[in-house]
Amino acid sequence: MPLKDGTGPNGQGSRTGRGAGNCAGQGGAGRGLGQGRGFGNRRGRGTGSNNTQDNSWLQNQLNNLQAAIQKLTERLDGTKKE
pLDDT in tens, 6-16: 777 777 777 77
Q: For residue 67, name the pLDDT band (cuts at 50, 70, 90).
A: very high
pLDDT digits (tens, 9 = 90+) for 22-41: 665 555 555 555 556 566 65
pLDDT score for 75: 94
Would the pTM of this model clear 0.85, i.e. be above it?
no
- Residues ≥6 apart with Cβ < 8 Å to 1: 7, 8, 14, 21, 23
70-to-27, 50, 56, 65, 76 alpha-carbon distances in Å: 45, 30, 21, 9, 10
